[in-house]
Structure 1
Amino acid sequence: MLKVLYLLNHAGKAGTERYVYSLIERLHNKKIKAYFAYNEEGPLVDRLRELGVEIYRIEMRNPYDLKAVREVNSLCRKLGIDLIHTQYLRENYISMLSRLLNPKVKVMYTNHFIMRNNLPLRITNRLITPLEANIIAVCNKGKDMMISNGVNGKKIHVIFNGVDPDLWGEPIKSTLREEFGIDDDTFVMLCVSRFAHDKGHGFLVNSIARLKEMTDRKFMLVLANDGPLLEQVKKQVKDMNLEDKIIFTGFRRDVKNLFFGSDVYINSSEHEALSFAIIEALAAGLPVIAADMAGNGDIINSETNCGLLVKYNDPDSMAEAILKMMNDRELQESLKKNALKTVRERFNLDIMVDRTYNLYLKSCNQKI
């Protein structure tokens, strides 16, 4: 049984943490012995403790933190780690530098972002990639960006994020409309996204203002989650007199409940490699409208036919897509029909876990 150390700087509650949790939940004490080390405390720590995973804290101040390099090396020797699975550049560099002290430990990296690196990082990538066993890109554009950032493309494998289609697809009776006094005739849009600079909430609010000018039909946008820009977005909604069209729910754990009370899921993000929220919404049978950015085109395209793509930061494009779906019941039903099928065939958690585990074996030179 392989011993895998999952190393993550911040143990929060975003998509990357969901990715790590999903792998550990499916593989721990079944095909691997999982360990977890982190720098900044967050909800993931408690969730993994509930799974019986051994937890360690390692301070990681920067990608070249030599003290952290020594601590990672020491921990790997103590636990007999075969492979370190990293998620961000900081812990990835630290892990690869630790290989200079203990080459027996392999390092595998999953890249969750599509961002252009500066020149020093591109040079470092070229120098340090040989220390990497294998690399996962969660979408095709992510692979292309890594190659342009100086990473050896031969080591990059595209493995899409996945969710459990049975868990999300099993129907439930939603309390969303009753909770917020939304009647059955109102078209409900849902966005479950952390209020941060790259999530496009300002763009989405502007789109709702445009939609309000275009139709008299009743509609409501439900914004769920929290984050540093929450109050700023609330002020924007108030200033634009959209308080009758937009509801803020705060952070919610009952996301499935929200899905089953909505008519469409909206994603307005600028930098999202492959959104778990989009895939979960599709698994719940919701069609999706998303900005044509990052990996969204891997999910929504002419083959999957499960949603509509719009131009990022273009309120007219977003409003027109919403209006089209709102007024075309046949289109809405067609997209819904393909939603769950898309998840089962392309973004299934079992597929993600199996392919990742096989890459663990390949990285450690074991038979698949």
Structure 2
Amino acid sequence: MSKNILEFCLSPDLGGLELCAIEYFKYFKTQTYSYLCVAPNKKLDIYLEDENKFTLKRNKLFPILPAFKLAKFIDKNDIDVVHFHWTKDIATVVLGKVLSKRKPKIIQTRHMTMTRFKNDFYHKWLYKNIDTIHAVTYQVKGQLEQFIPSEIRPKLEMVYLGVNEILVNDEKIINLKEQYNIKDEFIVGIVGRIEESKGQYLVIEAIAKLKKLNIKALIVGHAMDESYMAELKLKIKELEIEDKIIFTGFTKDVNEHIKLCDVTVLATPKETFGLVVIESMINKVPVIATANGGPLEIIDNEEDGLLFDRTTENLVEKIELLFINTELKNKLALNGYKKVKEVFDKNTQMQKMYEVIDES
């Protein structure tokens, strides 16, 4: 295949969805001609410097304006496929296709759940102009089949996300332990943007109930909501566990931070996939994840991870179980590592996605 692929993501954030767009761009660049379009001066733009990157300012009210610029880029660079990730980009991408002379194929990676019918005139027009939707789990694929009418439904494909095993910097881990004053404590990590939906408060409440044990929490990520961050710090003070909670802020060294942990927690109520789950597993760190959404397709409970019902009480039980039972902790870590190697290998999943684009 020699197709020109444009990865498109104007999201202002830098989470799993946005990093996924970068990873596809990098991989496709090794296979064919690949370009990346991001919003100017936003986190993705700052995160990556690349000669094949260009910027486009999003216009929420008048998407036709950036769509004209997108159409020009499509025609100038002979783009065959536009692959977008952020749902809010759908109008800009479709209009860009319609306005272009080249009329590239459009592929959407659906990272989020779908919960309502898309049978109005506007959505019918949009989906008629999308060729393929890539679902990141079978659950998401089922929702697409349920809520998009068959007569306008694009071709559906399911390809899991994946991770590679990365050789971590041992010296950096030693320095991080010194920086965070970690000695022999049992570390419970939660990785992701600091916002209420990510459930950092559940970990804090659990640590408070386990305060008599030698356990600390490592909260990794940047604050999306300063008021929520202030609430967390007030809660920590009221619970008198300031010495038990470590905030790291944003870091690019995610794997090294995961390696600091004895267990990580995914506490989102409905995580579509849960990239941090497989990131922990590939680092041989066991995971406690919400029994909903993506984790149900990743984790076999008590075999390669633990599922919990998203209550503080249940989370306390799971953390204490791993704190006491080292044999179980080691078993989950080893089985989780093997699971990722067999099912969620990044290069394998990237190649599957490349084949989806090829078939388009």
Question: What TM-score do you get using the length of structure 2 for normalisation?
Answer: 0.89
Amino acid aligned to 2:273: L
User: Hey, what's the Cα distance between the residues in 2 that align with 1:231 and 1:121?
Assistant: 42
Check if 1:67 corresponds to 2:65.
yes
User: Hey, what's the Cα distance between the residues in 2 that align with 1:56 and 1:154?
Assistant: 28
**Secondary structure, in 3 states, of the residue corresponding to 1:320?**
helix
User: Hey, what's the Cα distance between the residues in 1 that align with 2:235 and 2:57?
Assistant: 40
Which residue pairs with 1:137 in the alignment? 135
Which 5+ residue runs of structure 2 have no aligned equivalent?
A: none
| Kept in 2: contact 1:287–1:335 (CA 8 A) | yes
For each residue in 1:212-240, what CA deviation from the matched residue of structure 2 results, as whole angstroms up to 9, or x when unmatched?
3xxx4311111111112322212221122
Which residue pairs with 1:90 in the alignment? 88
Which residue pairs with 1:354 in the alignment? 351
Q: Number of aligned residue pairs: give it.
A: 351
RMSD over aligned Cα atoms: 2.4
Which residue pairs with 1:261 in the alignment? 260
1:48–1:182 Cα change, 3 Å:
closer
User: Hey, what's the Cα distance between the residues in 1 that align with 2:208 and 2:41?
Assistant: 39
1:80–1:164 Cα change, 3 Å:
same
Q: How does 1:164-175 map to 2 (within 5 A)?
A: 164-165=164-165, 167=166, 172=170, 174-175=173-174
1:101–1:49 Cα change, 3 Å:
same
For each residue in 1:169-191, what CA deviation from the matched residue of structure 2 results, as whole angstroms up to 9, or x when unmatched?
x573522433322322x211111
Which residue pairs with 2:218 in the alignment? 222
For each residue in 1:41-64, what CA deviation from the matched residue of structure 2 results, as whole angstroms up to 9, or x when unmatched?
3232244424x32313243315x7
| Kept in 1: contact 2:203–2:217 (CA 8 A) | no
**Secondary structure, in 3 states, of the residue corresponding to 2:284?**
coil
Question: What TM-score do you get using the length of structure 1 for normalisation?
Answer: 0.87
User: Hey, what's the Cα distance between the residues in 1 that align with 2:282 and 2:324?
Assistant: 23
Which 5+ residue runs of structure 1 have no aligned equivalent?
A: 364-368
How many angstroms does 1:90 deviate by? Answer: 2.1
User: Hey, what's the Cα distance between the residues in 2 that align with 1:335 and 1:32?
Assistant: 39
Which residue pairs with 1:109 in the alignment? 108
How many angstroms does 1:120 deviate by? Answer: 6.6
Percentage of identical aligned residues: 22
User: Hey, what's the Cα distance between the residues in 2 that align with 1:281 and 1:86?
Assistant: 26
User: Hey, what's the Cα distance between the residues in 1 that align with 2:336 and 2:146?
Assistant: 32
Which residue pairs with 1:248 in the alignment? 247
**Secondary structure, in 3 states, of the residue corresponding to 1:74?**
helix
Which residue pairs with 2:25 in the alignment? 24
Which residue pairs with 1:325 in the alignment? 322
User: Hey, what's the Cα distance between the residues in 1 that align with 2:279 and 2:164?
Assistant: 8
Which residue pairs with 1:147 in the alignment? 145
User: Hey, what's the Cα distance between the residues in 1 that align with 2:304 and 2:9?
Assistant: 33
User: Hey, what's the Cα distance between the residues in 2 that align with 1:39 and 1:181?
Assistant: 38
| Kept in 2: contact 1:38–1:59 (CA 8 A) | no
| Kept in 2: contact 1:203–1:268 (CA 8 A) | yes
1:132–1:154 Cα change, 3 Å:
closer
User: Hey, what's the Cα distance between the residues in 2 that align with 1:10 and 1:326?
Assistant: 39
Amino acid aligned to 1:162: G
User: Hey, what's the Cα distance between the residues in 2 that align with 1:65 and 1:56?
Assistant: 15
| Kept in 2: contact 1:49–1:55 (CA 8 A) | no
User: Hey, what's the Cα distance between the residues in 1 that align with 2:353 and 2:120?
Assistant: 26
1:123–1:88 Cα change, 3 Å:
farther
For each residue in 1:89-118, what CA deviation from the matched residue of structure 2 results, as whole angstroms up to 9, or x when unmatched?
22123222333334631100011112424x
User: Hey, what's the Cα distance between the residues in 1 that align with 2:161 and 2:346?
Assistant: 7
The counterpart of 2:303, out of the listed 296, 302, 305, is: 305
| Kept in 1: contact 2:128–2:154 (CA 8 A) | no
Amino acid aligned to 2:155: K
User: Hey, what's the Cα distance between the residues in 1 that align with 2:178 and 2:303?
Assistant: 31
